[in-house]
Amino acid sequence: MNHHFIVNKAHALLSIIVPTGVFAITSLYGLYGLLVSNDASWYGAVFVLGLVLFLDHGVALSHPTSVILEETSVQFHAFKHHHTFNLEDITRINVRKVSRGRRLYVRLNDASLLKGRYWLHLDHMSDAQLCLDFFERLMNERHPKYKNMEAHSFKRVK
């Protein structure tokens, strides 16, 4: 069961790589403004917003450019980094279809700001249905209470 799902290059460039670069530049602009200007509230907000969004895309890999499913693990790749989760170590998983099923939001284990939350762009991914089936099957095995949950339901299920 070794599958490699890749987001097409044009979509990855325009939706993942370029925005991450813009967020990095925005953060640097805010930092520069904080150092040379007296308007700390404006530049501080720009710095914090740019930094949080850069960390979300660049460090947390929340929008991976590829997903690799192996026999014993799942890997999320972007920016020459990857997050690997062993399937046996996944104790909590939440899968939610959004944007009329074109995107998939996956939360694994104790998701934090830096790891465990992923937006998969199914409409721009190779073999997207196979990827969707894998995550839904894994969710049904690990968390059957989430089974058949509505796509836009944000209610907590215990």
**Quick check: 151 pLDDT over 60?**
no
Tell me the pLDDT band of 146, cut-offs 50, 70 and 90.
low
- Which pTM does this prediction carry? 0.76
Residues 21 and 54 in one domain: yes
> Into how many domains does the chain fold?
2
In this structure, are 37 and 75 located in the same domain?
no
Tell me if 12 is assigned to some domain.
Answer: yes
Whether 37 is in a domain gets the answer: yes
Q: How far is it, in rounded angstroms, from Cα 101 to Cα 82?
A: 25
List the CATH number of the domain containing 140: 2.30.29.30
pLDDT at residue number 155: 45
Q: Distance between CA 74 and CA 84 in Å, rounded?
A: 6
C-alpha distances (whole Å) from 103 to each of 45, 56, 133 are 29, 17, 13
Residue 131 sits in which domain range? 66-146
33 is a domain residue: yes
In a domain, 152, yes or no: no
At 66-112, the pLDDT tens digits run 898 888 889 998 888 888 888 888 888 888 888 776 788 888 888 77
Paired sense of beta strands 93-98 and 81-86, if any: unpaired
Is 106 within 8 Å of 97 (Cβ atoms)? no
Query: Among the listed ranges 25-39, 59-73, 115-129, 140-154, which one has the minimum average pLDDT value?
Result: 140-154
